[in-house]
Structure formats: C-alpha cells, structure tokens
C-alpha cells in the first residue's frame, strides 16, 4: 500500500503539470489535484489515501472516468484464473519430473533435466509465448490466437497456452527445488525402511517421498506466485488476455492514467500478501514440523 | 605459462561455455554494426526478405536487415543491463553495509521492512509502475530498475555485514579506536562486495530479460532504436508471414542470458568450493 502511495510522489516535478502541459488553467489543475489526492501535506495525503482504500474506493480513471474498482472487477478474474491454471499445470508437470529427476539423477535423464531447465529459465516469457503461439495457434491451429470468454469450462480453451508459457519459468524452479529436497529425503532412514518393507510404488512415492519433501516447495511456490505475476503481465499482453496486466499497461501506463496504475499496483501487493499467507497454511498442513507452536 | 591460459584454467566447464558464448555475442555486437553494409535504423524497399545469403536473418517490415539490427541491439541491451546492474549493486551494497553495522535496531528494522516489501513485490510490476510515473525511454528504465533492484543487494549485503560485525578482526578495529566510517569503508565493504558482486552476475540475467520485456510492452526503449524486446514486439504482427523478425532477436537474447547464467553458476560453484 505504501508502495502504491509512494509511486505518485516519486515523480520529479509536478505530476499534474506533467499531465496537462503548460497551457492548463489553474482551475483545471486544481480539479486534477483533488482527483489524484494531491491536496494538503504529505501525512494528510497518506491518511486520506488510507481512508479511501479502507472504504474500498480506489479512485477514478482520469481518461474515462470509470472507477478503478470497475476496471478491476472486469479484469482481475481473468488474471486469477490464469494464475490458478498455471499453478495447477506447473504442479502436474513438476511433481513427476522432480521425482524422476531425483531418482535417476545420475543418468542421462538427470543431466538433460538440468540442461533443459537452465535453457528454459533463460528464455523470456514473451519470446517463448510467441513461439508457442506460432506453433500451436498459427501452425497447428489447436489454440485460439487471442480473445477470452469469461465462462468457466470455456475459458480454459483460451488459458491453457498462456499457462503453458508461464510454466516455462515455474516448472524449472519448482522441479529443481523439489528434486533437491527429495534427494535429501531419499537419504533418510524411514525411506530405507519403507523400501525394505517393499511398499508399492505409488503409496511409497506419495507418503514417503513427496509429502515430507513438499514443504520447501510450497513456501517457494508462495514467493514464486509473486514473481509469476510479473510474468503474467507480459504473457497477458502476448496472448491478448484482458487481465489486470493488460489493464495496467494499456489503460494505465500508456495513457498515463495514474489512479489506474496506483490501484492495480495496490492489488498486486494484496495478492502477494494473501498468497504468502496461504502458502504458510498449506505447508503447515503438509509438514507438521513447520507449524508455529 | 602465459596469463591467458591460467585465466582460462581457473574456470570450470560451465563458466568456460558461458564465457565463450558471451564473448562471441559481444564480438559480433561490436563487429557486425561496424562492418555491415546495412543501416540498422533506416528502412529500404526490400521488405520481408526471407533469411538467405544476402540477409542472414532476413529483413523486417521496413526492409531493415535483421542480422545487423539484432547485433546493434546486443550493444544497447548489454550496456543497459550493465548499468542496470551496476547502480543498484553500488547503492545496495553501501546501504546494506551501513544497515548491517548500525547499532540502532529501530533504523535497521525500519529499513528491513522497506527492503522486504520491495523484494516481495512482483519485480516487473513495480518497475512498470515507476517507469509509468517517471516516463518511459532509456532514462526511465534505468531509474525504475535502480529504484527497485537495490533492495535485493541491500538484503544480501546486510546479512553478510551482520556476520562480519562480530568477527574478531572487526572487534580489533574497535579496540584500535578506528572511526565507524573507516571500519565500514576499509574493513566491512571489501568483504561484503564479493558476495553482492557474485549475485550481480546472476541478477544480470533477470535485468536483461526485464529490459527486453519492458521494451516489448512499450514502456522501455522505443522504436526505431534496435532493441531485442522492441524488435520482437515489432515482429509480432507478422508472425506467420515473417517469423524471422521475431525468432532471431529472441534467440540471441536467450543465448546471451544462457551465457551469463552459465558463467554465474560456474563462478558461484567455484566460490563455494564444489568442483
């Protein structure tokens, strides 16, 4: 919140003058100033800003006059869907990959896992996204090029390719961390005893290998979702998804619409706080050792 | 043995590959724009020529040679990323060093909250926020990156300085009656900056991708300037007709990132002493 507040005050010079140019009348400047909450001293401004946010009022767009809330109501669900689909897909890819890469770490599989994940990490999402778009949407024509539909099962058709792109940065990090914690778990005595007892593969993998190894990955996942939001902004623009990333750039930054930028940045901050809280809860459920007594 | 061979042998395989990739790209980045018969910024009538013997990477929608532009962009991107790493590195190391040695828990705690808040925030989002306020272009880009990125260096530097603070040789300086500034500059910082420098190399990958990403979004370097992200964004509209406008700049950008990442990984492994 403080960051969102600070943004406008960072600007060297007067943001209102910057917006309106030199020819603005004093009355117009005053109206804008009031709109942006730039009247009064700095602490006063901050208290006003906080009060408005607590009331759920994020201000109005300078360009269209629409409330920031209405922009968010339209675009936030798209981004949340994208994040959820990405996380689910990333887990589906990472879990088996990490187990295989841990068990077969000294074979060709382990080595190629390392190389491929390094390459993926160094590939920017807007590039991999465009390549996937070129391949799946334009060549194979099995995915739509752009657009979105807000209904549930229908929207997956538009989301799977952007989510796959985001997996390109999520899966390598998740799988690597999970792999190294599985390797640690593999050396524990209870794993050996399970092997000696001859447990079936699937219950063995879940109860003895994955569950004790997941906690660090889940806390990392919490942090990564924060960084995933950055990538999501870019990917939304690549695939023309009408999420908050697109709103931030198209309606906020490119039009110099400060309240929109402020509001969206604030929402990003809230998501980060919420997600890291959730991650703590989930890792406590998976691994009782991390619970705060 | 001559110094160049010793230098080379000091690296492990990962670092060698990384350095080799980087050197090739840097060399091409310097030579290609100098030797190329094409101007990277001025258009011609030969639009959408497919890659071949005349135009290695083809030409774009304005008839500019993509090969020349890609390596002209290499110069700009690598220089920008270096500045984008160097400024936060300096600020962060200095601030982290001061915070790690201060005896006031209030100052240290307050700054730690600021640092953690910035670090937890989605990196690109907050840079975009700042760039939107300061104004886009090269200047805004550098200001935005510097204003956000220093926090990660400060975090590392502070942690290291906290460890050092209780080391015997620092206690010795107190006994000798050195001033705090003197201790900070002569004894703490030289031991802190090797860590932040090591992180700086890994950070270079993040920064160069962020610069290209911001330019791709239209909030960084503007056309007609040759810049990887801007070029990729240019080619987007012609993806099916002329894939080469998008594919080649991205390829070289990824290669650069892989080169630096390999170098960083290799050096880090060496510093930690695992071979």
Main-chain phi, psi angles of A60, to 5 degrees: -120, 150
In percent, how much of chain A has pLDDT > 90? 2
| A143 SS3 class | coil
Average pLDDT over residues A96-104: 85
User: How would you write B92-160 as a 3-class SS string?
Assistant: HHHHHHHHHHCCCHHHHHHHHHHHHHHHHCCHHHHHHHHHHHHCCCHHHHHHHHHHHHHHHHHHHHHHH
Which of A254, A275, A252 lies closest to A265 in space, CA to CA?
Answer: A252
- For residue A225, what are the contacts with CB-CB under 8 A and spacing of at least 6? A83, A87, A271, A272, A275, A279
- Count other C-beta atoms under 10 Å from residue A266's C-beta: 22
pLDDT at A250: 78
In chain A, residues with a C-beta closer than 8 Å to the C-beta of B244 are none
pLDDT band at B168 (very low <50, low <70, confident <90, very high): confident
Q: Is the pLDDT assigned to residue A119 strictly greater than 80?
A: yes
Q: Are B157 and B195 in contact (CB under 8 A)?
A: yes
Q: Are A125 and B206 in contact (CB under 8 A)?
A: no
Q: Is the pLDDT assigned to residue A268 strictly greater than 60?
A: yes
Q: Is the pLDDT assigned to residue A6 strictly greater than 60?
A: no
In angstroms, rounded to a whole number, what is the distance separating the alpha carbons of residues A262 and B125? Answer: 11
Q: What is the pLDDT of residues B11-24, one digit of tens each?
A: 777 788 888 999 99
Q: What is the DSSP letter of B209?
A: H
Contact A254/B at CB under 8 A = yes
Q: Are A64 and A259 in contact (CB under 8 A)?
A: no
pLDDT band at A13 (very low <50, low <70, confident <90, very high): very low
In angstroms, rounded to a whole number, what is the distance separating the alpha carbons of residues A109 and A104? Answer: 6
CB contact under 8 A, A234 and B212: no
In chain B, residues with a C-beta closer than 8 Å to the C-beta of A237 are 216-217
In angstroms, rounded to a whole number, what is the distance separating the alpha carbons of residues A149 and A166? Answer: 20
Query: What is the average pLDDT score of chain B?
Result: 84
Q: For residue A131, what are its two tokens?
A: 């390549």
Average pLDDT over residues B118-140: 82
- For residue A141, what are the contacts with CB-CB under 8 A and spacing of at least 6? none
Q: What is the pLDDT of residues B234-267, one digit of tens each?
A: 888 888 788 888 899 999 999 999 999 888 888 8
List beta partners, residue A67: A60
DSSP string, A216-267: HHHHHHHHHHHHHHHHHHHHHHHTT--SHHHIIIIIIITTT-HHHHHHHHHH
pLDDT at A139: 76
pLDDT band at A7 (very low <50, low <70, confident <90, very high): low
Q: Is the pLDDT assigned to residue A11 strictly greater than 60?
A: no
Lowest-pLDDT choice from A27-31, B180-184, B225-229: A27-31
Q: Is the pLDDT assigned to residue A12 strictly greater than 50?
A: no
- Choice between A109 and A45, residue whose per-residue pLDDT is larger: A109
In chain B, residues with a C-beta closer than 8 Å to the C-beta of A8 are 133
Average pLDDT over residues B179-199: 81
Classify the complex by whether its ipTM is higher than 0.85, answering yes or no: no
CB contact under 8 A, A123 and B257: yes
Lowest-pLDDT choice from A70-84, A134-148, A163-177, B17-31: A134-148
- Count other C-beta atoms under 10 Å from residue A139's C-beta: 11
Contact A269/B at CB under 8 A = yes
Average pLDDT over residues A56-74: 76
Q: b/e for A144-170, b at 16 or more Cβ within 10 A?
A: eeeebeeeeeebeebbbbbbbbbbbbb
Lowest-pLDDT choice from A41-45, A122-126, B37-41, B198-202: A41-45
- For residue A293, what are the contacts with CB-CB under 8 A and spacing of at least 6? none
Q: For residue B224, say if its preceding peptide bond is cis, omega within 30 degrees of 0.
A: yes
Which of A107, A46, A226, A282 lies closest to B126 in space, CA to CA?
Answer: A226
Q: Are A117 and A179 in contact (CB under 8 A)?
A: no
Sign for the CA dihedral angle at B202, B206, B211, B215 comes to positive
CB contact under 8 A, B213 and A11: no
Q: Is the pLDDT assigned to residue B178 strictly greater than 50?
A: yes
Q: Kindly identify which residue of chain B lies nearest to residue A125, measuring between CA atoms.
A: B213
pLDDT at A291: 60
Sign for the CA dihedral angle at A97, A95, A279, A188 comes to negative
pLDDT at A132: 87
Contact A7/B at CB under 8 A = yes
- For residue B173, what are the contacts with CB-CB under 8 A and spacing of at least 6? B182, B183, B187
pLDDT at A293: 45
Contact A138/B at CB under 8 A = yes
In chain A, residues with a C-beta closer than 8 Å to the C-beta of B111 are none
- Choice between B249 and A211, residue whose per-residue pLDDT is larger: B249
Q: Which residue has the tokens 């695992």?
A: B274
In angstroms, rounded to a whole number, what is the distance separating the alpha carbons of residues B247 and B226? Answer: 15
Q: Is B46 left (phi over 0), alpha (psi -120 to 50) or beta?
A: beta
pLDDT at A15: 56
pLDDT at A249: 81
In chain B, residues with a C-beta closer than 8 Å to the C-beta of A7 are 129-130, 133
pLDDT at A66: 76
């Amino acid at each position: 919140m403080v960051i969102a507040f600070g943004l406008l005050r960072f600007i060297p010079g007067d943001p209102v003058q910057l917006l309106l140019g030199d020819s603005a009348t004093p009355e117009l400047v005053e109206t804008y100033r009031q709109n942006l909450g730039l009247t009064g001293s700095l602490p006063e401004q901050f208290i006003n800003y906080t009060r408005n946010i607590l009331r759920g009022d994020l201000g109005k767009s300078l360009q269209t006059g629409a409330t920031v809330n209405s922009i968010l109501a339209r675009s936030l669900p798209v981004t949340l869907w994208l994040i959820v689909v990405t996380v689910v897909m990333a887990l589906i890819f990472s879990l088996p990959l990490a187990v295989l890469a841990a068990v077969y770490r000294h074979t060709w599989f382990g080595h190629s896992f390392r190389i491929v994940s390094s390459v993926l990490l160094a590939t920017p999402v807007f590039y991999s996204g465009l390549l996937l778009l070129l391949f799946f949407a334009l060549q194979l024509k099995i995915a739509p090029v752009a657009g979105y539909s807000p209904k549930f099962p229908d929207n997956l058709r538009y989301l799977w390719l952007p989510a796959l792109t985001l997996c390109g940065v999520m899966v390598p990090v998740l799988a690597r961390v999970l792999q190294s914690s599985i390797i640690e778990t593999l050396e524990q005595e209870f794993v050996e005893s399970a092997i000696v007892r001859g447990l079936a593969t699937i219950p063995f993998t879940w109860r003895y290998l994955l569950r004790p190894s997941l906690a660090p990955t889940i806390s990392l996942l919490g942090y990564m979702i924060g960084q995933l939001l950055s990538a999501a902004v870019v990917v939304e623009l690549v695939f023309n998804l009408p999420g908050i990333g697109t709103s931030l750039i198209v309606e906020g930054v490119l039009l110099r619409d400060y309240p929109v930028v402020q509001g969206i940045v604030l929402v990003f901050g809230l998501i980060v706080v919420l997600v890291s809280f959730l991650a703590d809860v989930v890792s406590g459920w998976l691994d009782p050792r991390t619970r705060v007594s | 043995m001559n110094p160049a061979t010793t230098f080379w042998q000091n690296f492990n395989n990962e670092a060698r590959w990384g350095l080799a990739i980087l050197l090739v790209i840097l060399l091409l980045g310097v030579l290609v724009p100098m030797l190329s018969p094409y101007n990277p910024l001025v258009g011609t009538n030969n639009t959408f020529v497919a890659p071949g013997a005349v135009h290695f990477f083809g030409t774009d929608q304005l008839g500019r040679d993509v090969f020349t532009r890609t390596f002209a962009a290499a110069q700009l991107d690598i220089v920008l990323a270096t500045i984008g790493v160097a400024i936060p590195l300096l600020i962060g190391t200095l601030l982290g060093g001061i915070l790690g040695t201060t005896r006031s828990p209030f100052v240290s705690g307050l700054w730690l909250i600021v640092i953690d808040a910035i670090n937890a925030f989605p990196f690109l989002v907050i840079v975009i926020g700042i760039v939107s306020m300061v104004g886009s272009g090269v200047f805004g880009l550098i200001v935005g990156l510097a204003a956000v990125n220093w926090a990660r260096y400060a975090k590392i530097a502070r942690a290291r300085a906290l460890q050092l603070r209780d080391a015997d040789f620092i206690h010795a300086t107190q006994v000798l009656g050195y001033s705090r500034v003197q201790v900070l500059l002569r004894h703490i910082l030289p031991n802190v900056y090797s860590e932040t420098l090591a992180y700086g190399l890994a950070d270079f990958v993040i920064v160069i991708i962020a610069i290209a990403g911001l330019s791709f979004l239209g909030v960084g370097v503007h056309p007609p300037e040759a810049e990887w992200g801007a070029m990729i964004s240019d080619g987007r509209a012609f993806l099916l007709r002329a894939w080469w406008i998008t594919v080649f700049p991205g390829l070289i950008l990824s290669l650069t990132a892989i080169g630096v990442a390999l170098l960083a990984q290799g050096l880090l492994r060496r510093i930690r002493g695992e071979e």
